[in-house]
């Protein structure tokens, strides 16, 4: 459809001569970021006379593609041919932003200041050099004149010469010293100017994207009336991403609650800075699979048992011949038969996608920063308890369950965990559909101490003439609450399970088990208990495995 649009517009506008060529800057206005890529909308605004014109837009990112490029115009403006060039770019005027131009002007001004400083210091050094040469001349003059005065035997002449040379030398040295001090002061002032110049250059570098080839967009348009025209140029660009991050703050006690501060981290390497843009974040994933995978039916065949035995015999004979051949040649060849890869549909978000429009406008520089922006704070009621696994841990852990009642999908992301105002560590929030429940750990409870001992364990025959064997084990588990507050504790342990009728598993527990095989987890046992501060609870678990003689327990 896009090609058809370009072709018909080219026929409509190519025949008449163009009135003028205009060069304009494309300013990034709106950015919609998806996982892995972004849709960038730039605006080209010009004041045009009525008629047909050619518009040149320089300094676009090198990674633009014509497939993802779309132009939109207001009523009364007809767009024509569109060209995106990467090589042999047309000569265009400087379209730098005012901030960049101001930074360039400041760099140029400070460069002139440093040059003037250098010239001034050089002039001062010339005065020092002239004074030193004057001193050298006076010294040579005094030596020659002193010789002549001694020959004439005139003491008065010698005294007059000494006074003159001394006075002139002192004046020259004072002038040299003053010039040297002035030169040092000028050098200190120059250092301040050099530092200011370096700061200005760094400020300019921060405003500008790295130098690269770039692209130039050229298109034609026809306007019915003179006036200001704004063209929207939308492009699909890669190397942009956003991901949610969470601060999860759990409050325990009678009114347990969970507050989640939700933020997003954004980065982009599209080749151009995004300055003062409207930011939209979408959970849609246009870069991934958009249709279900194909399904193929397996071909099954039947074969008679006689044919199967014959085929097996042929295969065995063939394998024997191959083994003999390898033995004779000393070569070993390994043949690996790869099973065909199963084709399954990739999981995707269920329901409509979620779009976040960030309030205000933001700056995201190209390739040099990860921008973190706060989204909102979510509040949930939480069910809090302590979970204990004495067979694996020596302390219990704080757990919380909450329901996503926000009415929207909560995306997976890294979470910083807090419990009662204390930072616990990092976790990962899974994808939560609207209305879904989830459980998360909120750190250790060092005051809930666990032990598990196995005082009695026996294994062996039951009598000499019996026809069965058995294994008996007893475990004693304790939970001690030293936290200073009451806790609801869920204790979890495991016993062996069997899928064979001849292997029987029996157990007893005191106190009785609250749940067996929770959520289909075979062999798992759970006890619910309310443990007051300072209290201690003991659980005794006995289980027996019985199987016929002639079998070995594995």
Give the span between the Cα atoms of 530 and 491, in whole angstroms. 11
CA distance 539 to 491: 10
Q: Residue 480 class from Cβ within 10 Å (0-12 exposed, 13-18 middle, 19+ buried)?
A: middle
Cβ 197 vs Cβ 110: under 8 Å:
yes
User: 489 exposed, middle or buried (CB, 10 Å; 0-12, 13-18, 19+)?
Assistant: buried
Instruction: Please state, rounded to an integer, the average pLDDT across all residues of the chain.
Output: 80
| Greatest alpha-carbon span in the chain | 150
CA angle 144/147/151 to nearest 5° reads: 145
Alpha-carbon distance 178 to 171, whole Å? 11
Q: What percent of the chain has pLDDT over 70?
A: 79
- Which stretch of 151-155, 267-271, 428-432 has the lowest confidence by average pLDDT? 151-155
Q: pTM for the full model?
A: 0.60
Whether the Cβ atoms of residue 475 and residue 538 lie closer than 8 Å to each other: no
Closest Cα partner for 433 from 503, 370, 348? 348
Give SS3 for 527.
Answer: strand
Give the CA distances from residue 318 to residues 308, 326, 333, in Å, rounded to whole numbers and listed in that order: 15, 12, 15
pLDDT, mean of residues 296-301: 70
Inter-residue contact 424 to 386 (CB < 8 Å): no
Containing 10, the helix (H) or strand (E) segment is helix 2-14
C-alpha to C-alpha distance for 244 and 80, rounded to whole angstroms:
41
- β-pair type (515-516, 504-510): unpaired
> In this predicted structure, what is the pLDDT of residue 16?
42
Query: Which of 15-24, 189-198, 232-241 bottoms out in mean pLDDT, i.e. has the lowest?
Result: 15-24
Give the pLDDT of residue 385. 96
β partners of residue 540: 476, 510
Query: Does residue 330 carry a pLDDT above 60?
Result: no
Q: What is the DSSP string of 183-199?
A: HHHHHHHHHHHHHHHHH
Q: Which helix (H) or strand (E) holds 153?
A: none
pLDDT of residue 340: 36
Distances from the Cα of 243 to the Cα of 35, 106, 349, 372, angstroms: 8, 38, 15, 10
Neighbours of 127 (CB within 10 A): 16
Class of domain 2-89+213-237: mainly beta
Cα distance between residue 423 and residue 435, in whole Å:
27
Q: What share of the chain is helix, strand, coil (3-state, %, to 5)?
A: 25, 40, 30
Structure tokens at 510: 């005191």
> Which CATH number, 1.10.10, 2.60.40, 1.10.3470, 3.30.1380, labels domain 444-548?
2.60.40
pLDDT digits (tens, 9 = 90+) for 49-103: 999 999 999 888 888 888 889 999 999 999 999 998 876 656 556 556 677 778 8
Render 196-219 in DSSP notation, one character per residue: HHHHHHHHHHHHSPPP---EEEEE
- Helices of type H across 33-97: none
Residue 344's pLDDT band (boundaries 50, 70, 90)?
very low
Query: From the DSSP assignment, how many helices (H) and strands (E) are in the chain?
Result: 4, 23
Q: What is the pLDDT of residues 467-524, one digit of tens each?
A: 468 888 999 999 999 998 999 999 999 999 988 888 889 999 999 999 999 988 999 9
pLDDT recorded at residue 553? 81
Sorted by sequence, the CB contacts under 8 Å of residue 10 that are 6+ apart come out as 80, 81
Q: For residues 38 and 277, give the distance between their C-alpha atoms in angstroms, rounded to a whole number.
A: 13
Q: How many residues would you count in the chain?
A: 554
């Amino acid at each position: 459809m896009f090609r058809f649009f370009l072709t018909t517009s080219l026929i409509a506008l190519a025949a008449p001569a163009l009135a003028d060529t205009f060069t304009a800057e494309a300013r990034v206005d709106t950015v919609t970021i998806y996982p892995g890529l972004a849709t960038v909308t730039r605006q080209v605004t010009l004041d045009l006379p009525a008629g047909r014109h050619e518009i040149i837009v320089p300094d676009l990112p090198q990674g633009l593609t014509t497939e993802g490029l779309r132009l939109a115009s207001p009523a009364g403006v007809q767009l024509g041919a569109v060209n995106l060039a990467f090589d042999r770019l047309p000569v265009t005027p400087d379209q730098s932003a005012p901030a960049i131009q101001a930074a360039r002007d400041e760099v140029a001004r400070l460069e002139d200041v440093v040059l003037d400083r250098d010239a001034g210091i050089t002039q001062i050094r010339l005065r020092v050099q002239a004074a030193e040469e004057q001193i050298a001349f006076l010294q040579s003059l005094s030596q020659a004149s002193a010789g002549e005065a001694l020959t004439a035997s005139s003491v008065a002449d010698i005294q007059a010469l000494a006074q003159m040379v001394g006075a002139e030398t002192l004046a020259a040295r004072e002038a040299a010293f003053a010039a040297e001090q002035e030169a040092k002061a000028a050098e200190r002032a120059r250092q301040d100017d050099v530092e200011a110049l370096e700061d200005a250059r760094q400020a300019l570098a921060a405003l500008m994207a790295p130098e690269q080839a770039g692209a130039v967009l050229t298109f034609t348009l026809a306007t019915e009336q003179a006036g200001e025209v704004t063209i929207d140029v939308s492009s699909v660009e890669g190397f942009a991403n956003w991901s949610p991050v969470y601060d999860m703050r759990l409050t325990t006690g009678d009114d347990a609650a969970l507050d989640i501060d939700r933020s997003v981290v954004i980065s982009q390497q599209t080749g151009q800075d995004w300055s003062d843009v409207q930011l939209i974040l979408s959970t849609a994933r246009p870069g991934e699979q958009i249709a279900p995978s194909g399904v193929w039916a397996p071909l099954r065949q039947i074969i008679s048992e006689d044919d199967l035995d014959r085929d097996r015999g042929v295969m065995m004979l063939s394998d024997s011949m191959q083994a003999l051949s390898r033995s004779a040649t000393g070569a070993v060849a390994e043949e690996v038969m790869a099973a065909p890869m199963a084709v399954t549909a990739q999981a995707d978000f269920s329901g409509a996608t979620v779009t976040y429009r960030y309030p205000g406008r933001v700056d995201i520089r190209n390739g040099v920063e990860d921008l973190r922006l706060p989204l909102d704070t979510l509040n949930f009621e939480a069910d809090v308890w302590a979970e204990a696994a004495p067979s694996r841990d020596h302390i219990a852990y704080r757990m919380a369950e909450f329901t996503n009642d926000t009415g929207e999908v909560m995306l997976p992301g890294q979470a910083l965990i807090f419990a009662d105002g204390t930072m616990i560590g990092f976790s990962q929030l899974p994808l939560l559909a609207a209305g879904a429940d989830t459980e998360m750990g909120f750190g250790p409870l060092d005051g809930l101490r666990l032990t598990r001992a196995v005082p009695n364990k026996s294994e062996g025959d039951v009598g000499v003439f019996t026809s069965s064997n058995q294994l008996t084990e007893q475990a004693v588990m304790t939970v001690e609450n030293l936290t200073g507050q009451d806790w609801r504790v869920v204790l979890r342990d495991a016993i062996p399970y069997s899928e064979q009728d001849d292997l029987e598993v029996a157990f007893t527990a005191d106190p009785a088990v609250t749940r067996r095989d929770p959520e289909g987890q075979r062999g798992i046992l759970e006890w619910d208990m309310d443990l007051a501060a300072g209290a201690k609870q003991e659980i005794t678990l006995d289980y027996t495995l019985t199987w016929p003689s002639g079998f070995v327990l594995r």
